Amino acid sequence: MALAALTLTGGCITTEMMVKPGVTYDRYERDVVGCATTSTQKVPTNTQVGWAPYVGLYSVDTNSTLRQKHHELCLRDKGYSKVAIPVCEGPDGRAALAQARARQDRARRMSINGQSCYVVLGDGSRFLYTPAEG
């Protein structure tokens, strides 16, 4: 599929997102949460506590990288691909935030193209925005 090779550019900050064009946003959310749950169950937190000069007491989850990889593989098994997407800026940023705040039609299908971008919402989640063609 051509999507696997697609890298969207245009913004100065990009993030990698797992996407699957044509999937409904309801299905997307169910797949992401389902894979996150499975990954947490299969690769539980392994917190290690240490001490270092100039840092003091610190803790690290030594399984976080493995859990994230498991999550990505789970989504790939469901047909998703990792794509680099830029942050929305200017008019697209304002339009994306307005669309994110509006009541969402969960049956709407995910659309992604070379104009797609994302915004970060107040809860830390990302909202994928694709301007209407026309």
pLDDT at 53: 94
Residues 6+ apart with CB under 8 A from 68: 39
Average pLDDT, the chain: 87
Flag whether pLDDT at 102 surpasses 90.
no
What is the Cβ-side half-sphere exposure of residue 115, based on CA atoms within 13 angstroms?
A: 11
Neighbouring CB atoms inside 10 A of 23's CB total 17
- Give the model confidence (pLDDT) of 33-61 as tens digits: 999 999 999 999 999 999 999 999 999 99
